[in-house]
Structure 1
């Protein structure tokens, strides 16, 4: 390996971090036997390649380094995936080779620049590289990131990643990014609006782990932070972060315990969280109601926590009728 660093096309040689979302099987392929494959990728590309811990069906692979090392790492990953496809096809009668697919995780605030006005940028990327590029419409759960899926030949993918890196460098993320963290493998009973619930009696109770997290979030992000002080959970945030919106779906038969008598409970949650909370009217034929929470990430977390705490209180009363108070 020559010590001289090759400038990549267009003189781009800035340090950048790209995050990839992979299934367990794909991660196993990248790590290789005794970690040999990932070790080789790190050495040959010069990029830092980190793989998130945890027994999760999905893992995050983070690639960091000057852009030329990132492109080399991506090329090695794309060719490895192609090799896996060819190997898996040797046992199957299929004749057409499926494309290699990679999923990037990109801050939502940069997705507009990737798509371009009226979809012009993404169209240009597809046409000039031959790769298929798709930006997910929704953010990944409990984050402000979106998945960007790239499919095609390894060569098309590498060209496409180069163009995406240019856009990301030209349009840095705005505000704070809440990174996506994949969920552990143990699946909760119900998943609604990105929130896990277990069923007790007739009520859905927030999953204990999630409650702890929400509680910690609420403690960290009380909206009563003195002005000018940074919220610990979102480094680099100023005193008035941009407003965002979060939607929850609540079964019709549970909505009453959130609203309370003559709206007392929902008003209390609004005041305590500082968030705007709108409850959609019941739709004909639907067993659920949409709740829209608007405010800073801190306000939203606190409102979610208070709503979940309300479920918990009601469930406690349901399980122990003697503790019932007028609520």
Structure 2
């Protein structure tokens, strides 16, 4: 759709060059399919540009997602280009074995989302009934942008028919306010599921709070005696209830032992005062369920007001901890009325131990800052 806007054009992400009559459609795609869209030496994307006389770009990005932008004066031309790209997206839908469904995520300015939703949701309901596609419009904007994700799922031709209907709608509604298009360099794995991004957690999650149940799941932890105690992965975890707490029941702070490679000290008690650190999790090895690839999973809880000490501004701290430990770490949103949040750590045992240590260290160093800011 034409980008009539009085907003800021800044930012490192370069926009496509558009003619005065061009319509622009942007799709959020997984980085892993970009190569098949571009082709060896750019062969595929060059053919699309030549065959359809359209602007087709997939700028490079080191993260897990990129943006495919198609510009042309004709909506039909844009849809033809997208139809050619759909086979590449089918492999990422999680249903490739059926050969049926494809998942397409279109970016729209937040001021235009309303025309797709309609009053009381009537327009999006009409689009679903007319095209047969499943449509989800994410409420949260992509990081550092004014773009929202519209997820369209169904058979390939069903999805492209739906996109065509949406683009025709969007043509009638100019962008209002600041127009800050999403730059995928700002990808945030922590909140990807909230804005419709391709995060590590896309399409799945744990099995709920009781997934580590079983009477014998609180055996002795790895790395020393101080990793948990009864409330940190022992008897309480054995009941299959909530994950181990961040500190003991009367903890005033978070204890920190030495880093995992030195062994010995564990992660629980220590100079921080009163109470253990992260709990071990389930199973006799001190962690959670063992997966086929040798990875395990541990869950712990943290008070809501300490979450910021781990997350950091725009998720900077949690990204650093993931990178340094090599573990997968997700922090769930608190349930209504809850006073804590669940942290799930996935990886090899040594990766989980390192992640636990780094998480504790982050809380120890940033608690005061976190309690003065919301993340």
The answer on whether the counterparts of 1:50 and 1:61 sit within 8 Å (CA) in structure 2 is yes
Are residues 1:59 and 2:61 paired?
no
Cα distance change on mapping 1:184 and 1:176 into 2, 3 Å: closer
1:100-139 matches, within 5 Å, as 100-139=102-141
What secondary structure sits across from 1:183 in the alignment?
A: helix
Aligned to 1:73: 81
Q: d(CA) in 2 for partners of 1:142 and 1:186?
A: 10
- In the TM superposition, 1:25-174 aligns within 5 A as 25-67=32-74, 68-82=76-90, 84=91, 94=97, 96-174=98-176
- Give the count of matched residue pairs: 193
Contact map agreement 2:92 2:103 (CA 8 A) in 1: no
Shift of 1:116: 0.7
Displacement after TM superposition at 1:183 (Å): 3.2
Q: Is the 8 A contact 1:54 1:184 kept in 2?
A: no
Provide the rounded CA distance (Å) in 2 between the counterparts of 1:186 and 1:126.
30
Deviation at 1:99, TM superposition (A): 0.4
* Match in the other structure for 2:311: none
Unaligned runs of 5+ in 1: 1-12, 195-200, 203-249, 256-282, 289-313, 319-327
More strand per residue:
1
Please tell me the root mean square deviation across aligned C-alpha atoms, in Å: 3.8
Q: Secondary structure at the match of 2:169?
A: helix
Q: TM-score, normalised by structure 1?
A: 0.50
5+ residue gaps, structure 2: 1-19, 196-252, 255-302, 309-335, 342-364, 370-375
Could you tell me which residue of structure 2 aligns to residue 252 of structure 1? 305
Secondary structure of 2:36's partner? Answer: helix
| CA distances 1:58-103 after superposition (whole Å, capped 9, x unpaired) | 1111111112321221121124434x579x96xxxx5x33401111
Q: Which residue of 2 aligns with 1:235?
A: none
Alignment partners' CA distance in 1, 2:147 and 2:188: 23
Instruction: Please tell me whether residue 180 in structure 1 is matched to residue 182 in structure 2.
Output: yes
Change (3 A) 1:286 1:18: same
SS in 2 for 1:142: coil
Answer yes or no: is the 8 Å Cα contact 2:143–2:187 preserved in 1. Answer: no
- How far apart, CA to CA, are the structure 1 residues paired with 2:32 and 2:108? 22
Q: Give the TM-score of the pair, scaled to structure 2.
A: 0.44
Relative to structure 1, is the Cα distance of residues 252 and 134 closer, same or farther in structure 2, using a 3 angstrom cutoff?
closer
Q: Separation in 2 of the partners of 1:27 and 1:254?
A: 35
**For residues 285 and 186 of structure 1, do their structure 2 counterparts lie closer, same or farther at Cα, with a shift above 3 Å needed?**
closer
Question: Larger % of helix: which?
Answer: 1
Q: Distance in 2 between matches of 1:25 and 1:183?
A: 15
1:286 match: 339
The change in CA–CA distance for 1:138 and 1:33 in structure 2 (over 3 A counts) is same
Pair 1:20 & 2:27 matched = yes
Query: 1:107: Cα distance to partner?
Result: 0.6
